[in-house]
Structure 1
């Protein structure tokens, strides 16, 4: 290890980091990433949050109520008095599924704004504020030529989720000298994640559904590679920058399901290509039925638009060139690891 690598490795040690949304899939891995780098890690949670994946005794907890600005100010003020602030904040809290569309705006934009305004008011702005956004903020781009989505493209989200994430990005970028770093990951998968698990469960039952007949280029990012990218940004002291994140490869619409089938050892799977108009009807009916029952449906209008999108390529060259990002999990390695985890945990 040369001097520069040693310096970067030790930049994080003993520094304090807060990970919001720590009880979630990505958040729990970000917590582990901080611990692995010798940081003092606070897991930002709600009082009702599950702590299933937050068992390490080194983890400290911060209960944060983003929905109520007054209560949030009190919680942060108490933390400041006892522990001062945090050197870094990774804001992973947010919503990906909602009963009503306006809840995306509240959970992803309004709560982010409440948090940042409280930090600024209390003089608790960290060295870096890392915001986990999404590739979905760009919507369907370059579907005629399948060119990678880049930072030069105009974001035109076509989902309530994407709109809410873009509003948060615009808000953070509008603040003078605010040390925001934005990550726009493509589809994130890994242990503990449940949406891709549903695909694995279906394939175990010998059924695989694919949306539409037209070419679809997909990209993925294994959760541990996303964690690597985030902490590289912290180690390099990046501010006021946004990055796309994927594993650097482009996959066909069948690649993920074929790898799952291989790892499960299924001798046969029925691959069904569902026409988009049928998928749209099914998605709307599933959303309506779930809403009548007061539940959130995995299949809904937003999800339909995401599945309909044909081009998910994105340009990660800035992440590679500026931060030295080197993804370690191509899809075959990642799928092998998640299927092993699902089996070990009794999910499959």
Structure 2
């Protein structure tokens, strides 16, 4: 009998690839979406849809009750739904912590807790640590998030880990890139326009994870039936602050590019002004105080040894291969 899996946040960048990963493995895949969610990347006829309203617990219980009566529960749930950009910092707690709690409480109340509940968290929960020696962040370090996003993700982790016997598996990916993603696309667009921008002058060690490698890691956890565990995810390499932009420049045919390094204090002012302006217009700015703190952070190394040793994770996309694929995709889709 095919295993049933629910991917929340399925209409998003990472979620849509997680849906495809389930289909590739012969699962019965349910895409958790809102009524207003785009289904642009959810066209496969095998995908089933579940509308879930995490904001209203009563409505959510009704939706799950109907689903249970008609289809039963799910063997696995990958909770990828959440927010990465908000107009007000309180919205991070709402979208990442409260909605997660609403969902889990509804599952418990209806006896719909799956075999595994996989939560997509973030390396950002650890904040700017180990910057004096640039050592990899590891699972024994104390998380000290300095962004509203990181705080909300850490709060969700603590909640999930506090539940007795709850079959949670947590993934903490570093910067995730790939087709369909728009933040890294802005870098490619800027470089095509002959401008590259970097934050600060001090050494910065960066890590990345191609979205298909993150999908591999998540499904390895399902395959190995792991529970009560948390893993960092990267491609296993460490890159300089120029590595990503240099590879983009190469894939674009080496256009001439002016490389700017912005002092952090100027970047902070610009970020606050961009956030304020966007808020006045009722919009969300890509550049904001959270983004400034992320760009300011110098050490993004993380220890993926547990992931490789316990699950046999072998990343297939070092940055050069990943950048080659995304630039080809951007061109094919007419983004560049």
The bucket for the TM-score relative to the shorter chain is over 0.9
- Report the alpha carbon displacement of residue 29 of structure 1 after superposing the two structures with TM: 0.1
Whole-angstrom CA distance in 2 between matches of 1:106 and 1:209 = 32
Structure 1 contact 287–299 (Cα < 8 Å) conserved: yes
Deviates more, 1:168-177 or 1:265-274: 265-274
Q: How does 1:94-243 map to 2 (within 5 A)?
A: 94-243=82-231
2:280 maps to 1:257: no
How far does residue 266 in structure 1 lie from its aligned partner after superposition?
Answer: 2.8
Q: 1:113, 1:238 → 2: CA distance?
A: 22
Q: Which runs of 5+ in 1 are unaligned?
A: 1-12
Aligned equivalents of 1:123 and 1:163: distance in 2? 29
- 8 A contact 2:209–2:234 mirrored in 1: yes
Cα deviation, residue 267, structure 1: 3.1
Q: Which runs of 4+ in 1 moved over 4 A?
A: none
- Does structure 2 retain, via aligned residues, the 8 Å contact 1:217–1:253? yes
Pairing of 1:43-82 with structure 2 (within 5 A)? 43-82=31-70
Listed as ranges, the gaps of 5+ residues in structure 2 are: none
CA deviations on 1:52-92 (whole Å, 9 max, x unpaired) are 00000000000000000000000000000011100000000
User: If the length of structure 1 is used for normalisation, what is the TM-score?
Assistant: 0.96
- In the alignment, is the contact (CA less than 8 A) between 1:284 and 1:300 conserved in 2? yes
Task: Pick one of 283, 286, 290 that aligns with 1:295.
Answer: 283
1:283 aligned partner: 271
**Do the aligned partners of 1:17 and 1:86 also contact (CA within 8 Å) in 2?**
yes
Count of residue pairs brought into register by the alignment? 336
Q: With structure 2 as the length reference, what TM-score do the two structures score?
A: 1.00
Counterpart CA distance in 2 for 1:206 and 1:48 is: 37
SS of equivalent to 2:7 = strand
Distance 1:346 1:151 in 2: 41
- State how far apart, in whole Å, the 1-side matches of 2:299 and 2:319 are: 17
List per-residue Cα deviations over 1:270-298 (Å, max 9, x = no partner).
00000000000000000000000000000
SS in 2 for 1:287: helix
Q: Residue in 1 aligned with 2:8?
A: 20
Contact 2:192 2:255 in 1 (8 A): no
Counterpart contact for 1:206–1:266, Cα < 8 Å: no
Counterpart Cα distance in 1 of 2:158 and 2:80: 17
CA RMSD, aligned part only? 0.5
Shift of the alpha carbon at 1:159? 0.2
Q: CA deviation at 1:268?
A: 1.3
Q: State the secondary structure of the residue aligned to 1:307.
A: helix
